């Protein structure tokens, strides 16, 4: 399979995941305030950011490995 097609496919999947995450975050259920959730907002964003950063790093490493072979 062509590497460019794989890159586009990964970007599309990552964009869909980001849009899905934002849709969940801004959903009606999340707009109703939950005091317990609001106490952990910083931790939740930190965890989510770490997950996205790890996935991006893994994808970049895979592409570099494919590109060099």
pLDDT at residue 22, as a whole number: 85
Q: What are 43's two structure tokens?
A: 């931790």
Give percent of the chain with pLDDT exceeding 70. Answer: 88
Of the candidates 23, 12, 2, 1, which has an alpha carbon nearest to the alpha carbon of residue 59?
12
Which pTM value belongs to this model?
0.53
The string of pLDDT tens digits covering residues 16-25 is 988 998 888 7
Per-residue confidence band for 1, with pLDDT thresholds at 50, 70 and 90: low
Rounded (5°) CA angle 62-69-54: 10
């Amino acid at each position: 399979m062509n590497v460019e097609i794989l890159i586009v496919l990964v970007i599309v999947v990552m964009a869909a995941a980001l849009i899905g995450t934002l849709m969940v975050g801004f959903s009606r259920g999340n707009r109703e305030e939950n005091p317990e959730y609001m106490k952990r907002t910083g931790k939740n964003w930190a965890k989510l950011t770490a997950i996205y950063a790890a996935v991006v790093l893994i994808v970049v490493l895979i592409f570099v490995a494919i590109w060099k072979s």
